[in-house]
Amino acid sequence: MATVAINESLVWAQPIPVRGHLDAELQLVERCLAGDAPAWEELIKTHSRRVYAICYRFTGNDGEAQDLSQEVFLRIFRSLRSFRAGEGSLGVWLTRLTRNLLIDHYRRTKSDRATESIEGQLPMLEEKTAMSARTDGLLAGREASELLQHALQKLSPELRETVILRDLEELEYKEIADILGVPEGTVKSRLNRGRAELGRLLRRHKAAV
């Protein structure tokens, strides 16, 4: 199977990009499709950290997140011609593609995930992903991040992905609705349920210590 080389420093070092103008994104896509190697490097450099962060938050496993990130960029390479600037930003299109791959991955590994312990799956990572005060206000620092990750893994996939996209990746409701293919009202409902469940899990832990 072909692989896409992703510079590890890019995964950790790049800030989450501000969504740019659609015309600039379209130019970047056109350069990529024309075989411009620097354009591909720019696309990966710009989006690799967000892709990795979503994959890690969804799986809770660094190795899986790295592998899935490479699969995402392989899919981008194969399907970039399907991107249409008029249908939303490149970031939203790419996040939708990432989400679809994660759902496929979850379905493939569902039986394993049902019996696999979460313990030992959280390696020491640089805590650079912004987290909403709604979900980690009870806790602080590295402990907060690890406990949040544990709690996220206990949510259903539909609640988990909604919380990740809104509270961790800070996307707008409309963007999340476009990515998930559901009405904005459904996004808000899932978000409220996900936040409530996370709060319950975190309060339970606080009461136990």
pLDDT at 126: 30
- How many of the other CB atoms lie within 10 Å of CB of 71? 19
pLDDT tens for 163-180 read: 988 888 888 999 899 888
Residue 141 lies in domain: 130-209
- Distance between terminal CA atoms of the chain? 47
CATH number at residue 142: 1.10.10.10
> By C-alpha distance, which of 15, 98, 111 is closest to 57?
98
Tally of domains within the chain = 2
The reply to whether 17 and 45 lie within a common domain is: yes
Segments in the chain below pLDDT 70? 1-22, 87, 110-144, 205-209
Measured distance CA(180)–CA(173) in Å, rounded: 10
Burial class (CB in 10 A: 0-12, 13-18, 19+), 73: buried
CA 126 vs CA 18, 35, 123, 208: distances in Å: 21, 34, 10, 27
Residue 196 lies inside a defined structural domain of this protein: yes
Last residue of a domain, one of 86, 101, 123: 123
The reply to whether 202 and 116 lie within a common domain is: no
CATH number at residue 108: 1.10.1740.10
The reply to whether 154 and 73 lie within a common domain is: no
For the whole prediction, is pTM greater than 0.75?
A: no
Q: What is the DSSP string of 33-87?
A: HTT-HHHHHHHHHHHHHHHHHHHHHHH--HHHHHHHHHHHHHHHHHHGGG--GGG
